Structure 1
Amino acid sequence: MKNFVQTGDTLTFTAPAPVVSGQGVTMGALFGVATTSAAAGVPFEAALSGVYVLPKAADNIAAGAALYWDAAEGQVTTDDDDGANRLVGAATENAGTSAATVPVRLNSIAA
């Protein structure tokens, strides 16, 4: 089809601050996981689909729970913080309060 551009599984973001490979990142309404590290102002690729292990708040998370990105803490949480945290995906496994990470299936669009 002649109007197809790309699959969109990864997109190029520009780092507003230094980015580390595997870090959750946002660009406007998009949320992804950095595939490489980049210095501030440098373009890098971010994966927008798939399941990634991300750092989490001290929440008790059930598989299937909606997860929000807390940009200030650089982690996912079950708390939308009255809309301040953005919906980024859902947990694919249970993760108790003592777990530091949780596997997250990305939505790609941060609501």
Structure 2
Amino acid sequence: MNERHRAYFRQKLLKWKEEIVLRTKETIAGLHEDSTQHADLADRATTETDRAFELRDRDRQRKLISKIDAALARIEDGTYGYCEETGDPIGLRRLDARPIATLSVEAQERHERRERVYRED
């Protein structure tokens, strides 16, 4: 992976992280603003379900930020774009589709097959 590729992925990761942080701030502001109490139980249940879904989604996004930070650290230390399992380069198309990928396609497929086998036991 050359310097141009690293710069491209660094920028892509930083933009992705910025979008996540912005959406999180919007969610927090929305939760503070929408503190209305509904008299109807169905309306209250719908509101609570929506809130729970939003908070669950934000928690997933929080975990994603740590993966983005780890990918940015790998860019800095020169290990970005290489499979953690085999050491082989991860394809650029895979990194473009999933910039936080740590495994090559082949290694990811092996990992998923092992996961399926252990889950079925």
TM-score for the superposition, normalised by structure 2: 0.21
Considering fraction of residues, name the structure with more helix: 2
Considering fraction of residues, name the structure with more strand: 1
Please say which structure displays the higher CA radius of gyration.
2
